Amino acid sequence: MATLEKGSYALDVREETHSSSLAITTQGLSKTYGSVTALRDLDLHVPKNSIFGFLGPNGAGKTTTIKLLLGLIKPTAGGGTLLGHDITMNSVEVRRRVGYLAQVPSYYTHMTARETLRFKIGFYYSGPRNALEERIEETLEMVELEDKADRPIKGFSGGERQRLGIAQAQVHRPDLLILDEPAANLDPMGRRDVLNIMEGLREHSTVFYSTHILDDVQRVSDTVAILNRGELLAQAPIEELLAGAGGVVYHMTIKGSHEDALSRISGQDWISGISVVRGDIRTTLQIGVTDEEAAEDELLRLALGEGGTIVTEFGRKRYELEDVFVDIVEGSNGGQ
Amino acid sequence: MASEKEFGAVDGSSILSGFWNMLRQEDRRWRNTRRWLVQSAVWLLLLNGIVVMVLYFDSNVQVGVEGATPGPVELFFILMGSMTPFGVMILTQNDIVMEKQSGTAEWVLSAPLSRESFILSKLVADSAWIVAVLVLLQGAAFDVILIAFGRQAVPVVNLLGGLAIQGLHLIFWITLSLVLGAFFKGRGPVLGIPIVLLAFQDLIAEFGRIYVPWIPLLLPKRLPELAALVAAGEPLYSAVPLMVATAWSIVFTLAAIWRFKREEF
């Protein structure tokens, strides 16, 4: 795997990854409206069967990207493929393989939930009717709308509309689900339900979803891309992002005296920096290292020494996605 | 669990991908909402109600189109020709504009539905229901009313000929509404332009002919008159208005498709 450094985070370019293992690829995908650039030179690589979180603040270009992928708007430059089909030349075939949930889902309000799913699946399959009805029933059960299936949509709550949105997006079991802010505007229970459904879809489909709710991303995504002001800032497996990009850091909590441990550790040439936070009983060290292997082998042993030092916590520092996101986005904004 | 292997895939390779499914939806929009029932009742009252009143109060009206006062056939077709286009404008004003505004167009176009199919499904469903409810049903009711008042019914062939011309007349207004919906984002122009054209087409024809003598031929104003003539068994003195209305309808439809294919959602 080659990496292109951009800022302090890696943009993954999986050269060895064949296009057949990618659900979405874009090359230089761009969209401008007059003098406003909504999206600039987007190179995206979404692996198949991943839950891919597409992050960015409001106005970053997430919805523009999704609409370009679906052929709802046309690119100013660049292009891409979805499941091997060109997004501009073969848009209908692309949409045959994809399920889509819009940021603000709209339906024909004279229909019930069941009629909506019947209408939607009719774009893909012609029958037999019993099998289609069975599929619709399964889908309604999946999103827990079976008891409201025959009520008009106009009486649905926000959460119910969102669940119906997921149902209509995947009633035909697409290879790729594109969800635009699927958990936005939902209460915590609604969000939990939607995330549970997304996790359940992982085994059948690739899920590409945009969001600015970082907790959700950290919970369900395996790969993440971060967009700001129309530019891709980072793209990596979430574990890589959370591991941190400013060097590896270990944290250690010592009960009682920490002076001896600190002197033993600080003498090593693979230590890049140590910060010390003293408490009444415990002291916490944040230890930056340049050699991860040496740190794993020796750091704890050095701290413990010949005995007498009590280490109550030790491990590699795990960043919260919020830290990473804010760091990347603020970095791209010039620290503003 | 039903698997994809059990399902018959819809053929979507053509530019008409999704057409039949969308057409069924447009048909349901008429049928399931009882829109057809309401429109049937409204136009029976408006059109044939006036005919009933005239026949009831004036027993001297003649069956044909000749005479000092218009006969019921002429009256019926002139009323139909002047009133039903307003109905078309009201019924079709939201077809495209509202779908663009509400997001339902974006939703259905995220499925394998071509933009041609989106426009054509609306054209076909609206044309079928509007012609059925505003033209054929009213024509049938008119013949029944004539019989009920002891008048000679209009022969079926003549009546169908007149109603066919009136159907073409309304398709002209349906396609105009569609093309305006494709070009504009708000309902104002979609409703306003046809109303102005309908209300002032006599004026446009009179002033237009000073500069371009064939301008009146481009307008649909002669169609109700031709429909009345055909229904009354008179010879059709010119097929040009029919050809022009057909040509306009085709041009409007193609322009609507052309514009809608460039729409961004």
Rg value, chain B, Cα: 21
Query: Would strands A176-180 and A98-101 be described as parallel, antiparallel, or unpaired?
Result: parallel
C-beta separation of A112 from A155 below 8 A: no
| DSSP three-state, residue A13 | strand
Q: Please state, in angstroms and rounded to a whole number, the distance separating the CA atoms of residues B126 and B28.
A: 11
Compute the nearest-CA separation of B84 from chain A (Å): 25
| DSSP three-state, residue B65 | coil
Q: What is the pLDDT of residue B246?
A: 97
The partner residue sitting opposite B265, judged by closest CB among A73, A119, A173, is A73
Contact yes or no for A73 and B264 at CB 8 A: yes
Q: Which 108-147 residues of chain A touch chain B by CB within 8 A?
A: 108, 110-111, 115, 119-120, 122-128, 131-132, 134-135, 138
Contact yes or no for A100 and B110 at CB 8 A: yes
C-beta separation of A72 from B118 below 8 A: no
- Angle at which helices B137-148 and B156-183 pack, to 10 degrees? 150
Contact yes or no for B104 and A107 at CB 8 A: yes
The reply to whether the predicted model has a pTM over 0.90 is no
Residue pairs spanning A and B at CB distance below 8 A: 97
Q: What is the pLDDT along chain B (265 residues), one digit of tens a residue?
A: 556 667 777 876 678 999 999 999 999 999 888 899 999 999 999 999 999 998 888 766 555 555 445 688 999 999 999 999 999 999 999 999 999 999 999 999 999 999 999 999 999 999 999 999 999 999 999 999 999 988 888 999 999 999 999 999 999 999 999 999 999 999 999 999 999 999 999 898 888 888 888 888 889 989 999 999 999 888 888 889 999 999 999 999 999 999 999 999 9
Query: Which of the residues B110, B114, B121 would you substitute to probe the A interface, choosing the one with the greatest number of A C-beta atoms within 10 Å?
Result: B110
Residue of A nearest to B115 (CA): A92
Q: Which 231-290 residues of chain A touch chain B by CB within 8 A?
A: none
Amino acid at B162: G
Q: Please state, in angstroms and rounded to a whole number, the distance separating the CA atoms of residues B172 and B150.
A: 35
Q: Which residue's entry shows tokens 């031929």?
A: B217
Compute the nearest-CA separation of A42 from chain B (Å): 19
Q: Which residues of A touch B10 (CB under 8 A)?
A: 122-126
pLDDT (tens digit per residue) in A148-169 = 999 989 888 888 888 899 899 9
Q: Which residues of A touch B29 (CB under 8 A)?
A: 108, 110
| CA proximity to A201, closest of A157, A133, A143, A119 | A143
CA dihedral B253, B257, B263, B265 (to 10 degrees): 100
Q: What is the mean pLDDT of chain A?
A: 86
